[in-house]
Amino acid sequence: MITIVIASYQYGHLAAHCIESILSQTQKPERVLFVDDGAHDCQNLPMLYPEIEYVFRDKNIGTVNNFQDMLQRVESEYVCFIGADNWFRADTVELLSKATTDILTYDIVVTGELKREILTRVPGETNLYQGDYYWNRHGKHHGSMLYRTSLGQQIGYKKRYENGLHPQEDWNLWDKLIELGASVSSVDEGLLYYRRHRENFLKYPEKSLPTKNLKVVIHPIDELIEET
């Protein structure tokens, strides 16, 4: 039902942690795809985790092209992308597997050496949580949202904003999904641990970019989860 795509570029020193968080899930995803976008620092992983499918690119093709290519390889009903520098709570896939909407979003726990940077990047949107920062994403976009594969493939990953460093490719996907009338539900729990670290810190602009005002209808998750 769900394919997890792990995307890595210069995250070879962190990738095993991400993989372990997926392999230790209370409910396994249908498929796990790992892509190294030309950094050549993940070659040891197939020996450690042979149950995962790997794509090793000869050279870096960039976030947009990388995500677009990986999305086209997915055949399951739903897909979720995660950066190899982040990790999931152990029951994430189990909770996501209950989705019936086109998009299922959930909250984020911001952690890592440079976690305080989130206070200036999204001022007023996070709260202290067990020494980290809790980011409520109820009904809101983030790069690791779960979405229906067929709709995502119809839209694809394309650049929406460009500041010279960071293309907002996942914002384009979110906006187009909403424009198509995609249904949205939320799990109000911190399932993604978003690690802010030195390599990651260099990939974001100094100021957040504006987004369009689109009407999103949020369905209570209790009404949308099928009885188990």
Q: Where are the domains of the chain?
A: 2-224
CA-only gyration radius of the chain, Å: 17
Give the lowest-confidence range in 13-22, 42-51, 91-100, 198-207: 198-207
CB under 8 Å to 93, separation ≥6 — which residues? 2, 4, 22, 25, 26, 27, 28, 29
**Which whole number is the average pLDDT over 67-94?**
98
Coil/strand/helix, residue 41: coil
pLDDT at 213: 47
Residue in 205, 200, 167 with CA at minimum distance from that of residue 85: 200
**Which whole number is the average pLDDT over 151-171?**
78
Res. 54: pLDDT tops 90: yes
The CATH code of domain 2-224 reads: 3.90.550.10
Cβ–Cβ < 8 Å for 105, 142: yes
pLDDT at 29: 98
Q: How far apart are CA 19 and CA 87, in angstroms?
A: 8
| Angle CA 47–200–43, to nearest 5 | 15
pLDDT at 127: 97
CB under 8 Å to 217, separation ≥6 — which residues? 183, 184
Cβ–Cβ < 8 Å for 102, 147: yes
**Share of residues in the chain with pLDDT > 70 (%):** 84
Does 209 or 83 have the greater pLDDT score?
A: 83
Residue 126 structure tokens: 């996070």
Quote the mean pLDDT of the chain. 88
Res. 92: pLDDT tops 90: yes
The model carries a pTM of 0.87
- Dump pLDDT digits (tens) for 201-219: 555 444 433 444 445 454 4
pLDDT at 169: 81
Res. 162: pLDDT tops 80: no
Res. 51: pLDDT tops 50: yes
pLDDT at 161: 67
CB under 8 Å to 89, separation ≥6 — which residues? 21, 189, 190, 191, 192, 193
